[in-house]
Structure 1
Amino acid sequence: MAAHVLGYRTTGIEWDAGACTTRNEAGMDTFKGDVRQYRAALFPLAQVLTGGPPCQTFTVAGHGAGRRALDKVLEYIELLHNAVCAENADWKEIFRTWRQISEKLRRKEIEAKEVKERKRDVEELRGTVRKAMKDRMVQLAYPADAIKDVLKGLKAPQRLEFQDADLKGLLKEFSDLNDELVKLKAVLEELGDERTGLVLQPLWWVIERSRRPGSTPYEAVVLEQVPAVMPVWNRYAEVLASLGYRTRTQMMHTEAFGVPQTRRRAVLMARHDPAAPLHELRPAQSLPTVDETHKRYQPRTSNIASAGFAALQLEPSDTGRERPRHSWISMRAALDSARVISEARVHNRPPFTVISNYGTGGVPEARGRRDHDVPSATITGKVSRNRIVHMGTETDLPDPLCRFAPAEAGVLQTFPVAYPWSGNDVSQQIGNAVPPKLALHVLVRVLEPELSDEENEARLEKATADLENWKPDKPVKYRVHGDWKGHPLTAR
């Protein structure tokens, strides 16, 4: 979306049917399918690679599965890096390394599929046994409260005891199934899942374009994901530097770029510079950072009015010069601006509070709350479940004001109010998206580095206005693998 309003032609590869339907309605060129079935060589005229591979659960907290997943991905990246940097590196050897990694991941995926099928069977059997226990307790005239307590106690079945022989047998069967489930889950954690391979796809596309005979490197690469993926981007940057790219990794706070929402994104930016001496291509720091244009939201200390661009503060940039930073933008300011464009798509609400579908501080019942005059909390795939109440109360606004409509949730992601959200699971599509306004800042910095500060600011101001007032072109139909004829990036 951001590339479109900046005047760049884009082609997407997407396997989610709902997202493809939305892209069709928005007039966006799309290939529908699994990205692993495509190759960089199929799009020889593409100049820029952008993407957001699925976010692995790379957290180092909890039972260690995330740590193992992260370590495995970093291990594969290191193997590719070694192949690229080997003395007298040969394309056949590089490709052989990738094939070995891909085959290992494919075998794990097949094994994981079999384990998942067994896991589903065990869960179904456990449910059947649970129902049999409930029916037996009813036959034995157990009080309703006692039955309820026993069923709750099945979370730790080893603590339960019964005198009835049938219940004893059923409990033993349930416990055995429970133990098998624990083992199956441990196996799945060790195997990982298909997202591991998908996280590696952008790197392989860059390597293929850089090392495959007859190919030319991408001019620029931009990748983003949740904060936990930053270690992957930092390792990516090392590989890209060895391929002749200047790089920068940056943790970006969306509200600091004019997005009416607090959300953090880990971003990798790279620009090919074959003339630069190798020693200057230091990973993750040879491109300048993207300057923040707005203040970060501080929920406990911020008392600034949220009129959008009213408040300014001078803060030093990485270059040392002072740049003005506007106040963050509130939900109310963003929705009011969008309502000027389309009253039909944005409701007029009294002062309101949004109550999140999620708990806070690890307490499910402690729902997060944000008032209308501050930025939204992170928009997720559950945005349609958030309640909207009269400010400072628990009283829901009347229907349909009590929930954000798709267009409104999209506006909080900085999509234009006219964006044609379509297909299945629209809320998930919106929650998965990168805020286009954030993307504007990144793309202008990476794709147009020759702009002066003043030109950069003017470019962003115009692009932001174009984004807000954007309307879709005529709908298109997505393509599928093999439908290359006449496509502008395939030279066929």
Structure 2
Amino acid sequence: MTSTASQHPILDKPYVLDLFAGPGGLDVAGHALDIPSLGIEWDKSACLTRYAAGLDTLHADVSAVRRDAFESLPPEINVLAGGPPCQTYSVAGKGAGRQALDEVKKYIERLTTGDSDEAIDEDLSTLTDPRTAMVLEPLRYAIQATRSPNRDERPYDVIVLEQVPAVIALWEHYATVLRENGLPDGTKYDVAVGVLSTETYGVPQTRSRAVLIARRKGLGRPSLPQATHCAYDAKAWNRRNEQAANQVRQPTLDEVPPPADDSDLLPWRSMGDALEDPVGAHPGRVTPFLVRSNYGSSGHPGRRGVRSDRQPATTVTGRISRFVVFEHLDENILREGARFSMNEAGILQSFPPDYPWSGTAQAQQVGNAVPPVFGTHLLSAALGLPTPDADVLRKPWQSATESQRAKLRSHGCGDPDFCTARCPRPETQSPPRSTPSTTSPTVGRPRSPAALVSRRSSSL
């Protein structure tokens, strides 16, 4: 259930350890809430983005840090967070993780009953896809904290996890064992679990995430964050457009308002709302426009989703740079325009304007990240903080100075300018490259808005 009660901070000095930190979605959320964080990330390019953004980072493999360098982590850390790799659980992947759900549940039970790391590691090596085991790392970190002399064997006070909806069954199993069995040292947690829609928290895209929030017993029962914005209803939107099309004067797409809602919630944020106005280095994007996604809708590869600037974006993935944007020349003619820049793609993911995307595979970095605005709501609910302001991350991001970047990289990689032997090997850090975004508009064959809109389905 979502929280409706007044919020009271449960920790005096929260300090977040962000596993699988990516380019910094959850860390940016912590920054907005004045909460320090340390992120562990294996991908070199994502780390370059983090250094440029001024985020404290370890360029390392999460499992290796747990095994070999856990004692070097700041003992003040009291919040564990993370979004393990989702490729094997995502509906877009081959499904090795979904097939292994029952097997992974058994590993969760073995970990909480105190089975040795060596025995578990040996058995995990038989999994079809080793990334499937990454979903166990947050639990293994929670257990390791209770065995760490550097922490005086003190458990984490709060755990915050997010993943694709397919992982909800594992989060529910996490919740059961954390409540009933607890960790091997006896530490138990109160837990809230659910699937949330990011547009209901002000993110200008539709994206569903499985969420777990746990608090150590005695710190109060956690609740999932209360929605602040209306949910996007694709069927209702399409019905309104069909009704409008039957009127004597057909309104253009940008004139069709979002579905009415009788609640006190704010309207969901549209792509146009996020991108229309100039801010920082973003020049503003002319509206109205239509966007055709590069991937199939509802699991149908032959179907391409089309949305207008008055709607939230479809889920932002590593293919965001391939989305085709059509600009209105007049009411009935479109032309293919400039595709989304990385700055725009980041804004649709709710990163602040001017976030310093760096390295290669930048679209993949954007798509893999936790939407920062969503992250502010997760952390606020977990820590008993007030509901974040709707515009909390709409100001341009201030990047690190060169000296700050060098200092962060010295800490994260061991050298101010280069990776070192302690960093993950280069051959293990090459996520699929995305097609570079187009920077100049291409005039194509005039197209009818109705022809594009007719390709939408009620599943968008």
Settle same-fold status: TM greater than 0.5: yes
Q: C-alpha distance in 1, partners of 2:95/2:349?
A: 32
Q: Is 1:18 aligned to 2:49, yes or no?
A: no
The residue type paired with residue 325 of structure 1 is L
Q: C-alpha distance in 2, partners of 1:287/1:219?
A: 12
Point out the structure with max Rg over C-alpha. Answer: 1
Instruction: Give the alignment of 1:159-174 within 5 angstroms.
Output: none
Say which of 41, 59, 62 aligns to 1:35: 62
The residue type paired with residue 35 of structure 1 is V
Instruction: Give the alignment of 1:453-492 within 5 angstroms.
Output: 456-457=386-387, 460-461=388-389, 464-465=391-392, 468-474=395-401, 475-476=404-405, 477-479=408-410
Q: C-alpha distance in 2, partners of 1:105/1:296?
A: 39
The residue type paired with residue 222 of structure 2 is L
The residue matched to 1:419 in structure 2 has which SS?
coil
Say which of 352, 376, 381 aligns to 1:445: 381
| Cα pair distance change 1:361/1:272, threshold 3 Å | closer
Alignment-derived partner of residue 235 in structure 1: 173
Quote how far apart the aligned CAs of 1:197 are.
2.4
The residue type paired with residue 178 of structure 2 is L
Judge which range, 475-484 or 200-209, deviates more.
475-484
Alignment-derived partner of residue 234 in structure 2: 299
Q: C-alpha distance in 1, partners of 2:272/2:234?
A: 16
| Cα pair distance change 1:430/1:64, threshold 3 Å | closer
| Cα pair distance change 1:11/1:335, threshold 3 Å | same
Q: C-alpha distance in 2, partners of 1:429/1:415?
A: 12
Superposed CA deviations along residues 380-426 of structure 1, whole A, max 9, x for unmatched, are: 0010011001359795434xx2x000000000011001110110100
Q: Is 1:385 aligned to 2:322, yes or no?
A: yes
Say which of 212, 216, 221 aligns to 1:268: 212
- Structure ranking higher in helix proportion: 1
TM-score normalised per structure 2 = 0.70
| Cα pair distance change 1:42/1:232, threshold 3 Å | farther
Q: Is 1:221 aligned to 2:159, yes or no?
A: yes
Instruction: Give the alignment of 1:261-340 within 5 angstroms.
Output: 261-274=205-218, 286-302=221-237, 303=240, 313=261, 315=263, 324-337=264-277, 339=278
Say which of 98, 101, 109 aligns to 1:78: 109
The residue matched to 1:301 in structure 2 has which SS?
helix
Q: C-alpha distance in 2, partners of 1:64/1:423?
A: 29
| Cα pair distance change 1:19/1:64, threshold 3 Å | closer
Q: Retained in 2: the 8 A contact 1:312–1:325? A: no
Q: C-alpha distance in 1, partners of 2:76/2:49?
A: 25
The residue matched to 2:162 in structure 1 has which SS?
strand
Say which of 30, 35, 57 aligns to 1:8: 35
| Cα pair distance change 1:429/1:227, threshold 3 Å | same
Q: C-alpha distance in 2, partners of 1:421/1:330?
A: 23
Q: C-alpha distance in 2, partners of 1:440/1:199?
A: 22
The residue type paired with residue 439 of structure 1 is G
Say which of 333, 353, 358 aligns to 1:422: 358
How many corresponding residue pairs? Answer: 356
The residue matched to 1:221 in structure 2 has which SS?
strand
The residue type paired with residue 407 of structure 1 is N
The residue type paired with residue 409 of structure 2 is Y
Sequence identity (%): 40
Alignment-derived partner of residue 179 in structure 1: none
Instruction: Give the alignment of 1:36-75 within 5 angstroms.
Output: 36-39=63-66, 40-43=70-73, 44-58=75-89, 65-75=96-106
Quote how far apart the aligned CAs of 1:256 are.
0.5
Q: Is 1:348 aligned to 2:285, yes or no?
A: yes
Quote how far apart the aligned CAs of 1:57 are.
2.7
| Cα pair distance change 1:366/1:314, threshold 3 Å | closer
The residue matched to 2:85 in structure 1 has which SS?
coil
Alignment-derived partner of residue 244 in structure 2: none
Judge which range, 348-357 or 66-75, deviates more.
66-75
TM-score normalised per structure 1 = 0.66
Q: C-alpha distance in 2, partners of 1:394/1:306?
A: 14
Quote how far apart the aligned CAs of 1:347 are.
4.1
Q: Retained in 1: the 8 A contact 2:201–2:373? A: yes
Q: Retained in 2: the 8 A contact 1:221–1:270? A: yes
Q: C-alpha distance in 2, partners of 1:76/1:394?
A: 57
The residue type paired with residue 210 of structure 1 is T
Q: Is 1:199 aligned to 2:135, yes or no?
A: yes
The residue type paired with residue 72 of structure 1 is E
Q: C-alpha distance in 1, partners of 2:356/2:164?
A: 25
Superposed CA deviations along residues 254-310 of structure 1, whole A, max 9, x for unmatched, are: 11011110000111111113477xxxxxxxxx4222111111101221359999x99
Superposed CA deviations along residues 65-114 of structure 1, whole A, max 9, x for unmatched, are: 44432122111112123x1xxxxxxxxxx2x52221112224x3xxxxxx
Quote how far apart the aligned CAs of 1:335 are.
0.8
Quote how far apart the aligned CAs of 1:229 are.
0.8
The residue type paired with residue 336 of structure 2 is L
Q: C-alpha distance in 2, partners of 1:347/1:326?
A: 23
Superposed CA deviations along residues 156-203 of structure 1, whole A, max 9, x for unmatched, are: xxxxxxxxxxxxxxxxxxxxxxxxxxxxxxxxxxx4222122111110
